[in-house]
Amino acid sequence: MPLEDIIARINAEEVRTGRSEGSTHLIAVSKVQPNDRVEAVLKQGHRVFGENKVQEAASKWPDFRSRFDGIELHLLGPLQTNKTKQAMELFDVIHSLDRIKLARKLATLATELGRCPDLFIQVNTGKEDQKAGVHPEEADAFIAECRDLSLPVIGLMCIPPAEEEPSLHFALLAKIAKRNGLEGLSMGMSGDFERAVAQGATHVRVGSAIFGERDYG
């Protein structure tokens, strides 16, 4: 689907639910997509992109950054502690802060580098074994620990279970964010971004609806 159609659908949902038009950030998720598809979206003027893996991002984004100004890159996938420094140098925002060991590493490196990407804490709202993220009942304490480390936490992120109604998970994430005074809500993907906007998403992460299906072959 053309990028402008996705943006139009987001804007329509903002208006329908009484939010201000254009208040949702659209992250175009370019993981696994061929470079020509990514470049086409860059040439349409879009600048906010998401990747899942540090290595993959390192192999393609330095070149795009040298050719296009103003790119904002978001890390969406799990971050191994030993790749923290590389991730901090590559990404503007990290959505997958999910454990205290990673929080401590980010804090140490932030002092060393003199800067830190904005951070979302990932919450495993469905408490699924295969998914990263702190469980909902651990979230308040973890947010407090991250704040004690002076980390720039701007919001919460979730990936709802595939077989459940995502709106319930989006509402839970919004509730946890609100009671902790956090503004950012990273939620909603190709199949459910409008429902996420309706629940107050500040950042939607849309991949295949923009670029087409990913070819993992």
Ligand X SMILES: *Cc1c(COP(=O)(O)O)cnc(C)c1O
Binding region for ligand X (CB under 6 A) out of 7-15, 67-75, 97-105, 206-214: 206-214
Q: How far is CA 196 from CA 51, 133, 169, 206, in A?
A: 20, 18, 9, 11
48 belongs to the binding site for ligand X (CB under 6 A):
no
Q: Return the bridge partners of 151, or none.
A: none
Minimum CB separation of residue 214 from ligand X in Å reads 7
86 belongs to the binding site for ligand X (CB under 6 A):
no
Q: Ramachandran region of residue 17, left (φ > 0), alpha (ψ -120 to 50) or beta?
A: alpha
- Which one among 10, 26, 28, 29 touches ligand X, defined by CB under 6 A? 29
Distance between CA atoms of 102 and 64, rounded to whole angstroms?
A: 28
128 belongs to the binding site for ligand X (CB under 6 A):
no
- Which one among 11, 39, 48, 52 touches ligand X, defined by CB under 6 A? 52
The two structure tokens encoding residue 111: 């002092």
- Which one among 10, 73, 177, 206 touches ligand X, defined by CB under 6 A? 206
6 belongs to the binding site for ligand X (CB under 6 A):
no
Please give the single-letter amino acid code of residue 122.
Q
Looking at beta carbons only, is 110 or 193 nearer to ligand X?
193
* b/e map 181-213, b = 16+ CB within 10 Å: ebebbbbbbbebbbbbbbbbbbbbbbbebbbee
159 belongs to the binding site for ligand X (CB under 6 A):
yes
208 belongs to the binding site for ligand X (CB under 6 A):
yes
Binding region for ligand X (CB under 6 A) out of 59-67, 126-134, 195-203, 204-212: 204-212
Looking at beta carbons only, is 184 or 207 nearer to ligand X?
207
Q: Which has the closest alpha carbon to 100: 92, 108, 112?
A: 108
Handedness of CA 171, 185, 84, 45 (dihedral sign): positive
Looking at beta carbons only, is 62 or 191 nearer to ligand X?
191
Minimum CB separation of residue 108 from ligand X in Å reads 25
Distance between CA atoms of 100 and 83, rounded to whole angstroms?
A: 15
Count of residues in contact with ligand X, rule CB under 6 A: 13
Residues forming contacts to ligand X in the complex (CB under 6 A) are: 29, 31, 52, 76-77, 159, 189-190, 205-209
